[in-house]
Amino acid sequence: MNDLVKYDKNKAHYVATVVIIKDNKKYLIVKRSKKEVAFPNLWGVIGGAVEIGDYMNRQKDTTESWFNVLEKTLKREVMEEVGLHVKNIDYLTSMAFQRPDGVHALGLIFSSDLDKRYYHDVILNDEHTEFAWVTIEEAQNFDLIDGVFDELYMVDKGLERWKKIVK
């Protein structure tokens, strides 16, 4: 008899990193293409799924595992989606939702600074149609994905203040 725990679809999630990129008091937002499964034509921030290649294609950090997988995924997604580099990556919060295709997703949200050592203009891939650098006040004028303004607010006002608000 096999004593191994079997795959349980109730415990499976599509895992994604999401990042608020800040440059002084401005935040990068992007408009999602109409072809995107989740949140088409809405404004959001950079994010994407953890892929097996984010760790399997490199040497393990211990005999059995890899460190910093989420951070590497985040940096890859930022480069793929907008052609920028980020630094000072900090965990912000998490969220779960069900996509329109029925897939359950877990988003791990981070904040980061634009790394100006490598700065150049934003280069959008085909997942997005527009971008804007906005203040928290300006962000309110965009058709944002539900929850994105809250994430921007957390970064803008400081996580410690947000913790006090939600307690």
On whether the 12-166 domain is CATH 3.90.79.10, my answer is yes
Average pLDDT score, the chain = 90
What's the pLDDT score for residue 10? 79
Amino acid at 81: E
DSSP state of 81: H
pLDDT exceeding 90 applies to what percent of the chain? 74
What's the pLDDT score for residue 157? 86
Q: 43: which 2 tokens?
A: 């404004």
The model's pTM: 0.87
What's the pLDDT score for residue 164? 53
Q: Does the structure show a pLDDT above 90 at 71?
A: yes
69 phi/psi in degrees, rounded to 5 = -65, -45
Mean predicted confidence (pLDDT) in 68-97: 94
